[in-house]
Structure 1
Amino acid sequence: METYTLLRVLLGELTPPGCKMNRLGELAYIPQLDEVTLQVEKDFALVGKLGVEQLDIQTMSGGEETRLKIAQALSAQVHGILADEPTSHLDREGIDFLIGQLKYFTGALLVISHDRYFLDEIVDKIWELKDGKITEYWGNYSDYLRQKEEERKSQAAEYEQFIAERARLERAAEEKRKQARKIEQKAKGASKKKSTEGGGRLAHQKSIGSKEKKMHNAAKSLEHRIAALGNVEAPEDIRRIRFRQSKALELHNPYPIVGTEINKIFGDKALFENASFQIPLGAKVALTGGNGTGKTTLIQMILNHEEGISISPKAKIGYFAQNGYKYNSNQNVMEFMQEDCDYNISEIRSVLASMGFKQNDIGKSLSVLSGGEIIKLLLAKMLMGRYNILLMDEPSNFLDIPSLEALEILMKEYAGTIVFITHDKRLLENVADVVYEIRDKKINLKH
C-alpha cells in the first residue's frame, strides 16, 4: 500500500498536504491493473519479442496485456518510466528480454517489483518504504540484502550492549539503595542508645543522615541514567519452522507420481505428445516453460488422475491456485488454520508470524483480509494441512519479498513432496532440487 501511494504521488494523482513535487520531462507509466489502451502506432517487433501473439483487447490474456503495456512504454520517447510490477505474468523468456531492453533504456526508471532476479539485473538503488519513511540503499537487491544483514548485526550488537549497560546500572542503583537502607537501620539503632554527650550524638545523627541522603541521590542519579538509555529494539528473530508428518501420511514409493507417454490436446493444439516424467519422493520439483506450454494443464492432469499418470494410493494431495479458492469469511484466522490441522496453536502462530501476520491479526475475520493476506493464509494452511504431496501453481505471485523469502524457507523445510510452477528465478534456484522444462510437447528433465 505504501509503494502504491508513493507511485500515485509521483504520477501526480495524489498530493499529500504540504507536499511539493517537481516533475521535469515526460514519464511513461506501466500500470499493473489499469485497462490496456491500444495506440495507433506500435512497435510490432518489440510486442512480438515480449510474447504478445495478437492485439485484440477482448481476447488478451493477463500476460499479453502486461507485455503490451511494456511495449508501449519502451516505444515512447520519454525521459523516464514508472513501472508497477512489470514482470507480472511474463514468462522467463519475456522477463529476460525485458531486462535486456531496460538495460539499454537511457532515461530514469522507477519500478515496484518483487522479482529479486529482475531487481538484481536492473536497479542500482533501492528505496525501502517502512513506517511512512523512505530509506535509501545503493546497489541492487543482493547489495541491499548485505546492507540489511549488516544493519541487523549492528542492531543485535547495540541491543546486547544496551541490555548489559542497563543491567549494570540497575545493579549499581540497587546497591546504592541497599547501602541507604543499611545507613537508615544503623541510624535507628544508634538513636536508641543513650549518650551522655547530647551535642556529639546530634552531630553523629546528622552525619548518618547526610550519608543516607547521598546514597539515595546516587541511586536516583543511576535511575535517571537508565531512563536516558531509552529503548533499543531487539532485532527480529530468524524463525525456523520444523514440519512433521504423521505415520499415516508417510509414503514409501520412491516415485509417488509418474507420467508415462501422456498426451493432451486442447482444440487443435497439442500440448503433450508421448511425454513422460517422474516425481521423486520428498523432492521439491519445479515446472518451468513458456506461457501456454501446458504447466497448469499438467497439474490439472495429475489432480484428475488422467490416462498415463499413476499416483501412489496413499497420496494425499493439496492444491494451491491463484483463484477459485473457497473459505468461510465468518471464520477468524486461527479458526481457519486449525481446521484439518494436526499442529498446535503455538506452531500455527510461528508459521503465520513467518508469513507476516502480527499478533493482532490472529483474531481477525477472514472477511477483512486483503487479497494478498488471503493468499498468504492459504499457503500457510496448505503447508500445515494433512497432505504429503503439494501442487502449487505460481505460489510466489502477489507476495511481498519478506513473505516470499519466508515461503522459500517453509517449502524447503516441508517434510513431503512439492511440485510447483514458477517463473521466479530466485525461487527456483533456492527451493527446487528437480527442474522440469515443458518444451516442444515434451517434459524435459533439466536437473
Structure 2
Amino acid sequence: MMEILQLQNIKVEIQDMMIFEKITTNVQKGDIIGIIGKNGAGKSTLLQLLNGDFLPTEGQIKHVQQDLVSAMVEQEAESYSFDGVTPEEEALLRKWKVPFRDFSKLSGGERVKARLAKGLAKDADILLLDEPTNHLDEQSTDFLIRQLKSYQGTVILVSHDRYFLDQVVTKIWSIEDQTLISHSGHYTSYMEFRERKRLTQKREYEKQQKAIERIEGQMNQLTSWSKSAHAQSTKKEGFKEYYRVKAKRMDSQVKSKQKRLEKELEKMKVEPLKDEYEVNFSIKSNHKVGKRFLEVKNLEKSFDGQILFKDANFTIGHGEKIAVTGPNGCGKTTFLKIITGKETVTKGDIWISPSANIGYLTQEVFDLPLHQTPQKLFDKESFNERGHVRNLMKHLGFQEFQWTEPIGNMSMGERVKCKLMKYILEERDVLILDEPTNHLDLPSREQLEETLAQYHGTLLVVSHDRYFLEKTTNTKLIFSNQTINKKLDVQEVPSKKDDQEELRLTLETERQEVLGKLSFMTSNHKEYEALDLRFKELTKLIRELQ
C-alpha cells in the first residue's frame, strides 16, 4: 500500500501538560486504524491533530500524498442542520432511516447517524471518526462496518467497542504512557501481542534482577578481599613491604574487575512492569422502599402526530434490573424522560413510587457545568468528605491535578465518570442510565458491569451493548411495533420468530463474552484453542439465524 502521511517525532502539550510525545509512525492508503487508550489519554486530541485543528508542540505531520482532504465526525455535537444535504448524504440518511426533523427531536442514535452520513458522503482521503458506534443499535453498527470496509479512502477512528474494532480495523494505535504503539492487526491480535510483550518483559526483568544480585555480591566480595589484604599488610612484621605490594596489586585487580562488573550492570536496562490501569468504585442504595417502583397503564406518547409507543401496560418492582431495548428512534430515551418528569405523556397513566429516590444519567455530555471544577461541583464542608470525593476520583482513574481543572477540559469519558460520581456519592435507590458505557474506556466499562451486578436498587438501562446488558440486567422492556412489552416469563412459549430472535441474541451475548475472554489471552493459553473454536461455532450459528 502507498504511504500517504508521516508523523515525525510528534509531541503535544496543552496548558503545560504533556499529552503525548515521541510519536513516529505512518499512515497508508486503505488503512483502517483503531485508536485505543484509557479516558484522557489523548485519543480525540490525536484525531484533531490529524485533522489540522492545531499544530504539534514539536515534530511535524508530513503529507506524502499532496492535497489530502480529511473529514472529521466528532463524538458529540450540540447542533446539526439538514440544510444543503448532498444526494450522497441523503441516500445514506434514508438507508439509516434518519427522519428529516429538528436535530433536538432526534434520538441519540439518529443524531450519530446524521453526522456519520455527512462525514461518509464527503468521500475524503482520510475519514476521522470519534466513537462512531456510540448510541448505534446493532443493525446500524453492522451497516457502518460494511460502509467502512468498502470505503475507498483511509479511516482513522477512536473506539472502545471490542467487537467493532475486531470486525473493521486493520491496524491498532494504542496510546500508553504518553506515547503511541502501532500494531498491524485487529484489537484481539494487539491484546495478545501486548500480553506476550509484558510477559517477556517480566521474565527479562526477573532475570536481570538475579544478575544484578550476583554482580553486586561479587563486587562486595572483591571489596572485602581488598580490605583484608590491606589489613594483613600492617600486621606482618618484617614482610610489610612484600604484603603492601601484594595488597596494591590486589587493589588494581579489584578495581579492574569492578569496572567490568559496573559495565555489565550498565547494559542491564530492562524496566519493571508498570501496574495496569485500574478503575474501582461501588454504588450503594440507601433507602427503604415498597414493592412497586412503577406502574404503566395504556401509556401512549407521540411527537408531531407520529406515535412512538401506545397501549403499553406493565409494572416494575423495586429491585428489578431492566434492560430497555429497541432500535434507534423508537422512544427509549423519551420513556426515561417521562419517568423523570422531563416529558409528559400523550395518553394513559404512569404511577411512580413517591418513596423512590431516582438518579438519572442522561446520554448527554454537555449538561454538566463545563466551567466548574470537580472541587466546586462536589463541594463538601468537611475535610473527611472532601477526602472521600478525591479518593473516589482517584479510583475512577482521574489524576490529582484534575480536582481543580474545569470539567470542560476533560475528555468525554471523564465527563461521564463525573456524572457517575454524583450517584455514587448520593446512594440513590433507583438508577436510570441512558447509554452509560458511551465514551467509557474498557476498564471503566468492566468495573461498571461489576458494580451494577452487585447493586441492590432498581435499575433501568438503555444500552446497545449486549454483553454489558447480559452482565447487569435480568429483565427486558422491549420497544417494538409502536408499543412496549415486558419480557415474557420463561414458562410462556413465544412464537417461532421471537424464539429465533431470542436464541440469536443469546448466542450473540455468549459470543461477546467469549471474545472478551480471548482478548486477554495469548494463543498459547491452555483455554485459548477451545474458546477460539467456540467463537467460530457461535459465529456460524448466528449467521444461519440471520
Give the alignment's TM-score, normalised by structure 1. 0.75
Alignment of 1:125-274 (within 5 A): 125-130=171-176, 133-184=179-230, 186-187=231-232, 191=234, 193=235, 195=237, 197=238, 200-212=239-251, 214-215=253-254, 218-219=257-258, 221-230=260-269, 232-237=271-276, 239=278, 241=280, 243=282, 249=286, 257-261=293-297, 263-266=299-302, 268=305, 269=307, 271-274=309-312
Residues 319 and 392, structure 1, Cα contact 8 Å, conserved in 2: yes
Q: Distance in 2 between matches of 1:75 and 1:431?
A: 38
Question: After alignment, is 22-31 or 394-403 more displaced?
Answer: 22-31
Distance 1:28 1:404 in 2: 31
Q: What pairs up with 1:315-334 in 2 under 5 angstroms?
A: 316-321=357-362, 322=364, 323-325=366-368, 329=372, 332=375
Partner residue in 1 for 2:6 = none
Q: Per-residue displacement from partner, 1:390-426 (whole Å, max 9, x unpaired)?
A: 2222222333455444544544455655432223345
* Range with bigger deviation, 69-78 or 431-440: 69-78
SS at match of 2:378: helix
2:162 to 116, 135, 140: 116
Cα gap change, 1:443/1:147 in structure 2, threshold over 3 Å: closer, same or farther?
farther
2:112 maps to 1:70: no
CA contact 1:51–1:94 (8 Å) conserved in 2? no
Is the contact between residue 30 and residue 70 of structure 1 (CA under 8 Å) also seen in structure 2? no
C-alpha displacement of 1:433: 4.4
- Residue 343 (structure 1) shift: 9.1
Q: Which of these residues, 29, 33, 36, is aligned with residue 71 of structure 2?
A: 29
* Paired residues of 1:284 and 1:412 also in contact (CA < 8 A): no
Contact 2:107 2:333 in 1 (8 A): no
Q: Deviations over 1:182-233 (max 9, x none)?
A: 445x33xx62x572x2xx2211233234435544654554444334323503
Q: Is the 8 A contact 2:129 2:158 kept in 1?
A: yes
TM-score, normalised via structure 2 length: 0.64
Q: Equivalent residue of 1:332, what SS?
A: helix
Paired AA for residue 263 in structure 1: L
Instruction: Tell me the C-alpha RMSD between the 2 structures.
Output: 4.4
Preserved CA contact (<8 Å) 1:170 1:226: no
Secondary structure class of the residue paired with 1:83: strand
1:364 to 400, 404, 407: 404
Alpha-carbon contact 1:52-1:64 (below 8 Å) kept:
yes
> Does the CA-based 8 Å contact 2:279-2:443 persist in structure 1?
no
Instruction: Identify which of 314, 331, 347 aligns with 1:294.
Output: 331
Cα 1:65/1:381, change in 2 over 3 Å: closer
Task: State the SS of the aligned residue for 2:477.
Answer: strand
1: CA distance between counterparts of 2:213 and 2:324? 54
2:472 and 2:104 mapped to 1: Cα distance?
37
Alignment match of 2:313 (pick from 236, 250, 275): 275
Alpha-carbon shift at residue 132 of structure 1 (Å): 6.2
> 1:419 pairs with 448, 453, 460, which one?
460
One-letter identity of the residue aligned with 1:278: I
Deviations 1:14-36 (A, max 9, x none): 56555421336875625225855
Cα distance change, pair 175–273 in 1 and its aligned pair in 2 (3 A): farther
In structure 2, distance between residues paired with 1:58 and 1:384:
31
Q: 1:147 to 1:277 in 2, by over 3 A?
A: farther
Counterparts of 1:166 and 1:412, CA distance in 2: 47
Offset at residue 112 of structure 1 (A): 3.0
> What is the number of residues matched between the two proteins?
432
Gaps of 5+ in 2: 1-18, 20-41, 488-501, 507-546
Task: Pick closer, same or farther for the CA change 1:168–1:316 going to 2, 3 Å.
Answer: farther
1:52 deviation in Å?
A: 1.3
Which whole-Å CA distance do the structure 2 matches of 1:379 and 1:424 have between them? 18
Q: In 2 relative to 1, CA 25–302 (structure 1 residues): closer, same or farther, beyond 3 Å?
A: same
1:125/1:137 contact within 8 Å kept? yes
Q: Distance in 2 between matches of 1:38 and 1:399?
A: 34
Matches within 5 A, 1:97-116: 97-116=143-162
More moved, 76-85 vs 155-164? 76-85
Which residue in 2 is equivalent to 1:382?
Answer: 423
Identity of aligned residues (%): 25
Q: CA 1:366/1:30 → structure 2, altered by over 3 Å: closer, same or farther? A: closer
SS in 1 for 2:219: helix
Q: CA 1:145/1:262 → structure 2, altered by over 3 Å: closer, same or farther?
A: farther
Moved more, 377-386 or 23-32: 23-32
Q: Could you say which structure has the higher strand fraction? A: 2
* Match in the other structure for 1:428: 469
In the aligned structure 1, how far is the partner of 2:279 from the partner of 2:301? 44
**Aligned counterpart for 1:442 among listed residues 454, 470, 484:** 484
Matches of residues 389-404 of structure 1 in structure 2 within 5 Å? Answer: 389-401=430-442, 403-404=444-445
Instruction: For 1:371 and 1:49, locate their aligned partners in 2 and report how far apart those are by CA, in whole Å.
Output: 31
Shift of 1:234: 1.7
Whichever of the two has the greater Rg, that structure is: 1
Give the Cα–Cα distance (whole angstroms) in 1 for the partners of residues 207 and 386 of structure 2.
36
Shift of 1:108: 3.6
Question: Aligned-pair distance for 1:48?
Answer: 1.9
Within 2, Cα distance between the matches of 1:342 and 1:369?
27
Cα distance, 1:354 vs. partner? 5.1
Return 5+ residue gaps in structure 1 as ranges: none
Offset of residue 332 of structure 1: 3.0
Distance 2:220 2:454 in 1: 47
